[in-house]
Structure formats: C-alpha cells, structure tokens
Structure 1
Amino acid sequence: MSVIQIDQVSRWYGNVVAVNDVTMTIGPGVTGLLGPNGAGKSTLITMMAGFLPPSTGSVTLDDVPVWQNQAAYRHIGLVPETEAVYDTLTGAQFVRANAELQGLSNPAAATTAAISTVELTDAARRRISTYSKGMKQRIKMAAALVHEPSVLLLDEPFNGMDPRQRLHLMDLLRKMGADGRTVLFSSHILEEVQQVATHIEVVISGRHAASGDYRAIRTLMTDRPVLYRLRSSDDRRLASALIGDPCTSGADLAAGSLQVQVADFERFSRIVPALARDLGIRLLEVAPTDESLESVFSYLVGRR
C-alpha cells in the first residue's frame, strides 16, 4: 500500500503563488481534493505525479522523493484535466503506446484489460478524434490504469461525462479504493466528492483549509453562519419569534422576504416548522442564499 506525503510544499511561478505551505498525507482509499477553480489542485496533483518540482518542501511516495524519480512512475497513474490524447490514434493504439512505454511484458493483453475496465471496448478501434469528451476522459483513464499502478491521480475526472459514465467511474474509484489502492481525485463540486471519497482534503487559494472524512468537513460547513431566505404568510411575526432564539444571529425584512442569519443549522431546521405551526403561519419558502462552494471555502479559510 502506497502513501504520498506532501510536506510544507509551496510552488510559485514568478510572483504568483499557486501552492502555499501545504502539508497532507494521501494514503490507501479514495481521497477527494476539493477546492474552487484556481485553488491549486492541478498544481498539487502535477507535483504528486512527479512532473513538477516543488519550489520548497518535499513530495514523497513511500518516503522516496517523486521528482526526477523514474522508478516512481511505475507506481503512479495520472489522468490529467487536459485532454492529453492523440486524436489521430485509435483508443487501442493510444493505450497500447502507454503500455509499451511502461515496458510491460504483454502490452496487448494489458491494453485489452484496461479498455475493458473503462467499458470502452466497442470504441477501441475508432480514432480518438471521433470520441466525445466523456469518452476521451475514459480512454485517458485506461491509459493511466494499463500498468496497474498502486497510486491513481485524477484531475477533475468527471468533466464532460454523461450520468451513466459518471456512475461507472464512481463505482470504479470506490472499488479501487476498497482494493487498497491510493486514489486521489480533484473536484470543485461537493456532491461528487461526497459520493466517492472516504477522506477529503480542502484547498483554497493555494492553502490547505481543512482535512478529514466527509462528516468532519460537513460539520465545519453546517456550523458556519448561513444566510437563509424565508417567505411566509406573516414574515414580521416569524422574524420576531426567530430573532429571540439562539439559532439565529440576525434577521432582516427585505422586500418580499425575510433574511435570517443562521448560526445553528440543526436547531434552525427543527424550530422553524415548529414556530410556524404554533403561530399559525404558513411557510412558503426556506432556502439558503449563500450555499455556493466558494462561500463555504471562504468561510473555512477564515476559520484557520
């Protein structure tokens, strides 16, 4: 079982800091690297794969530096966010080229097995130029798996996939994690990470913002103050009742709705229906107004 250790890693390009003093450990199982676009996820993955040196700090695979370590590439499979395919080749030719570059003893058999794993056998003899974006994602996956690596790194792998393809890839990642492989995939979509990852690393603006299992991250998220919009048959009475309860930290009667700052979501979710019932008020809408991933991450960064 393989472990990637990132120790006080920074990476900058001129005056631009892409990754800032990040330390994390990626072990067996499925880890989700979660962050908004531009958070530094791709830079981290590229360093983990050994294609980019850190400006400071170290990235190791089983205590051995990854950068300029050709032996490490035999244990790592990389699925980059960019298409990184040769459109003039067929899917089978592309995967076989990767098998031969790895020096496999039976590249033909390995190619067939990898393409079958991603369920692309029927299209294997077609040119990649005819593939959809989702199919290109899957053929990249086959190329990354052809040498059966113990570590699989995927950068936004679900981009361009249709619902069936997404479900298949989710199942495949979960299976590889259960088999003891070290799998890390990046995403800016919370739901993708929630459904697949057993462990989550959160990065924002190049910094490490949070770490833990999904429930731990969710707790951080639901504990933060959230602005909710409520519409009811009597917003003024509902506001008066809510403002006196510790689950809220403020309320504002805006045009056509009630804006409530929620400090304790669990209590808020219980008390609102009860108050409406007791006061004879009909609830028309209860919805968060700042539940974007960026707002969640901004809050997490502010708590550090």
Structure 2
Amino acid sequence: MTTLSIDHVSRWFGNVVAVNDVTMTIGPGVTGLLGPNGAGKSTLINMMGGFLAPSAGTVTLDGATVWRNEQVYRHIGIVPEREAMYDFLTAREFVVANAELHGLADPGAAAARALATVEMEFAQDRPVATYSKGMRQRAKMASALVHDPSVLLLDEPFNGMDPRQRLHLMELLRRMGAEGRTVLFSSHILEEVEQLASHIEVVVAGRHAASGDFRKIRRLMTDRPHRYLVRSSDDRALAAALIADGSTAAIELDWKERALRIQAIDFAGFTELLPRVARERGIRLYTVSPSDESLESVFSYLVTA
C-alpha cells in the first residue's frame, strides 16, 4: 500500500508561480488529475516523480522524501507528456536499457514482459523513429512498467492512441489499480477520466481546487444550481407544483425529450419536494436523472468558480 503525499508544495519559475501551496494525498487505486492547460499538472507530476524540486513544501513516498532520493525510483514508473525519446533505438532496446538502469536480474525477460503488457511485440524491433505517436506512448509505458513499480505517474498517457489502444490502456490501468497499485494520470479527455478514475484531484491556476468523487464534489457545490431531467405521467401538473416552491429556479418543458428540465437551487429541499409532490398529486415518476453531473460539468463549474 504505497502513498504519495504532497504537503504545502509550491513551485515557481522566476516570477511565474506554476504550483501554489498544494496539499493532496494519492493512495492505491486510480486517481485522475484534472485541470486546464497551464494549471500545473505536469509540474506536479514532475515533482511527484522526483524530476523537479519543490520551491517550498515536501513530496514524500511512504514518508521518504522524493527529491534526490534514488531509492524511490525502485517504486515509481513515470510516463512524461514530452515526446523526446531515443529515436535511433528500437522499443526493445529502449526498454531493456531502462531495465538495466534499474539493475534487474534479467533485463531481457523483464523488457519482453513489459512490451507484451502494452501489446508492442509486433514492432519491438523497429526504430522508435518509425513509430506513430500512439506507439511511442506504448513504448514509454513499457519502459515505465519494466521494473514492476507500485506507483505509476502518467502525464496525458492517452495522447495519440487510437480507440482500441485507449481501451486496452484503460483496462490495464483499472487492473493495476485493483491490484493495489497507486496510479495517477492526467488527461484532457474528460469522458475517459470519468470512466476510469475512482478519485479525482482538480488543479486550477496552480491551486488545488477539489478532491474526491466528482459526483460528491458536484453535490457539495450548493451555491450552484443543480439540473435534472424528469419524465412523469403528467409533466405539466408536476411543473406547476414544483415552480411554486422556492427550491426550484426554472423549469422548462423539453418537447423533444418529452421531459422536464428543472433547475434546482436548493439540492436538499428539491430532493425532498419532488417525491412528495408526485405522491400527493398521484403523478408517476418515470425518470429522475441529474443532467449536470458529468465530469465535464463539474470541471467547468470548478474552473469558472
């Protein structure tokens, strides 16, 4: 059970503050790191991986300081966003070299296992210079896995992958999270994060904006309206009863969906009101679903808050 701890970490480059007083804990399972471009995600990952020193604060792995501690690399695998690789090497040579750097007893066998895990055997003896972007990503992933790390730090790992490759990587990360490994990945494809991550950390303008399950985060945002799609046996009567209550701000009849689109400003009040009104008026509720609890919606709220 390996845990990464970021304690009041800041990082600045001259007068530019890239990360500002961030505290978070990344434990076993799959965690998604979210934020707009320039939010500080890559800077955080580089500090977690020991490639960049914090200007203030500490990054520790199970209590051990990460910066300038070569022992932590036995436990960490990292896939950077940068494309830079040794293009004259083949994928097998590249992964074997990393296995040798880790001092593994049988570098060739370890490299073969890692390349098989990312389904790169078919191209392992071709120079990296001939690879597509998605193939480069898989070669970097094999390099990160070659020493069987307990922590994986992945910066935009899905970049350049085709749909089949994405699905394979998502399943691989799910399996590793289920095995108890600590997996952190950043991605701008919010749908993939929603499908994959059991936990999210949101960074906006270098600051830690939110942490936890995105649906729970959404419900905690009581100062924002909540939107619902409701289908019932009598939409007009239900709308008339609901709009009279202070927990709703707006109700729209969506003819295309044959449903009501309701904006609630009091989450607790509305969740009590809806079933009570339906019961009192003999209205059957067929569908009650939040229409703004996607990760994209939560992310948009947090960025514009």
TM-score by length of 1: 0.80
Residue matched to 2:285: none
In the other structure, the counterpart of 1:184 is 184
Equivalent pairs, count: 293
Partner of 2:194: 194
**In the aligned structure 2, how far is the partner of 1:59 from the partner of 1:219?**
30
Tell me if the contact between 1:4 and 1:48 (Cα under 8 Å) persists in the aligned partners: yes
Kindly state the Cα deviation for residue 4 of structure 1 after the two structures are TM-superposed: 0.6
2:279 is equivalent to residue 300 of structure 1: no
Show CA shifts across 1:162-188 (max 9, x none): 111111111111111111111111123
* Equivalent residues of 1:34, 1:189 under 8 A apart: no
2:21 & 2:65 partners in 1: Cα distance? 17
TM-superposed CA distance for 1:202, in Å, is 1.2
Runs of at least 5 residues in structure 1 that lack an aligned partner in the other structure: 229-237, 253-258, 275-287
Distance 2:173 2:192 in 1: 12
Deviation at 1:84, TM superposition (A): 2.8
Is 2:17 the counterpart of 1:14? no
Instruction: Give the aligned partner of residue 60 of structure 1.
Output: 60
Verify the 8 A CA contact 1:220 1:300 in the aligned structure 2.
no
Structure 2 SS opposite 1:184: strand
User: Whole-Å Cα distance in 2 between the matches of residues 67 and 49 of structure 1?
Assistant: 8
After superposing the two structures, state which structure 1 stretch, 189-198 or 154-163, moved more: 189-198
Which residue identity does 1:90 align to in structure 2?
A: T
> In the TM superposition, what whole-angstrom CA distance separates every residue of 1:174-225 from its partner, at most 9, and x where no partner exists?
1111111111111233321221112211111111111113432343479832
Matches within 5 A, 1:23-102: 23-102=23-102
Q: What is the CA–CA distance in structure 1 between the aligned matches of 2:215 and 2:174, rounded to whole Å?
A: 18
Q: Secondary structure at the match of 1:81?
A: coil
How far is the alpha carbon of 1:299 from its aligned partner? 3.2
Q: CA deviation at 1:7?
A: 0.3
Q: 1:295 to 1:197 in 2, by over 3 A?
A: closer
Q: Deviations over 1:34-78 (max 9, x none)?
A: 222221111100000000011110000111110011111111100
CA separation of 1:291 and 1:171: change in aligned 2, threshold 3 A: closer
- What per-residue deviation string (whole Å, max 9, x for no partner) do you get for residues 60-113 of structure 1? 011111001111111110001112322221111111111111121111001100
Q: State the AA in 2 paired with 1:69.
A: N
Taking the aligned partners of 2:249 and 2:148, their CA distance within structure 1 comes to 53
Q: Give the conservation status (yes or no) of the 8 Å contact 1:4–1:61.
A: yes
State how far apart, in whole Å, the 1-side matches of 2:184 and 2:195 are.
14
Whole-angstrom distance in 2 between the partners of 1:133 and 1:221: 39
Shift of 1:298: 5.6
Give the distance between the partners of 1:260 and 1:37, measured in 2 at CA.
32
In 2, Cα distance between equivalents of 1:16 and 1:295? 29
Q: Secondary structure at the match of 1:105?
A: coil
Structure 2 unpaired stretches of 5+: 229-237, 253-260, 279-290
**Structure 2 residue aligned with 1:152:** 152
| Alignment check: 8 A CA contact 2:34 2:187 kept | yes
Q: How do residues 136-151 of structure 1 correspond to structure 2 at under 5 angstroms?
A: 136-151=136-151
Following the alignment from structure 1 to structure 2, what is the Cα–Cα distance between the partners of residues 8 and 128? Answer: 39
Distance in 1, matches of 2:168 and 2:57, equals 37
CA contact 2:20–2:206 (8 Å) conserved in 1: yes
Q: Residues of 2 paired with 1:133 and 1:247: CA distance?
A: 50
- Structure-2 residue corresponding to 1:225: 225
The CA distance in 2 between the partners of 1:226 and 1:5, in whole Å, is 33
Distance in 2 (CA, whole Å) between partners of 1:199 and 1:183 is 10
Structure 2 SS opposite 1:103: coil
Q: Quick one: structure 1 residues 295 and 15, their matched pair in 2 at CA, closer, same or farther if it must change by over 3 Å?
A: farther
The answer to which of 7-16 and 80-89 deviates more is 80-89
- Shift, 1:125, TM fit: 0.8
AA aligned to 2:301 is Y
* SS state at 2:83 partner: coil
